[in-house]
Amino acid sequence: MGRMDYLAMKTDPAMDDQISTDINELKVAAKKLFGHAAQLGGIRFGTTFLKWTASAAAIYLLVLDRTNWRTNMLTSLLVPYVFFSLPPSLFHMLREDFGKWVAFVTVVLKLFFPRHFPEWLEMPGSLILLVAVAPHFFAHSLRDRWFGVLICLLIGCYLLQEHIRASGGFRNALTQSHGISNTLGIVILIIFPVWALLIHFF
Asked if residue 6 is part of any domain, the answer here is: no
Distant-in-sequence, close-in-space partners of 22: CB < 8 Å, separation ≥ 6: none
Does 8 reside within a domain?
Answer: no
- The whole domain housing 42 covers 15-201
Q: Is residue 5 part of a domain?
A: no
| Domains identified in the chain, total number | 1
Give yes or no for a contact between 184 and 170, defined as CB atoms under 8 angstroms apart. no
In a domain, 131, yes or no: yes
H-helix or E-strand spanning residue 22? helix 13-37
pLDDT at 190: 92
What pTM, to 2 d.p., does this model score? Answer: 0.72
What pLDDT was estimated at residue 6?
Answer: 46
pLDDT of residue 81: 93
117 vs 75, 105, 151, CA distance in Å? 20, 11, 30
Within a domain: residue 1? no
- Is residue 2 a part of any domain in this protein? no
pLDDT of residue 149: 92
Tens digits of pLDDT across the chain (202 residues): 455 554 444 555 665 666 677 667 767 766 665 566 556 556 676 778 889 999 999 988 887 776 666 555 677 889 999 999 998 889 988 888 888 998 898 888 888 988 888 777 788 888 888 998 888 888 888 887 888 899 999 999 999 888 888 878 877 777 776 667 788 888 899 999 998 888 878 7
Q: Is residue 89 part of a domain?
A: yes
Structural domain includes residue 3? no
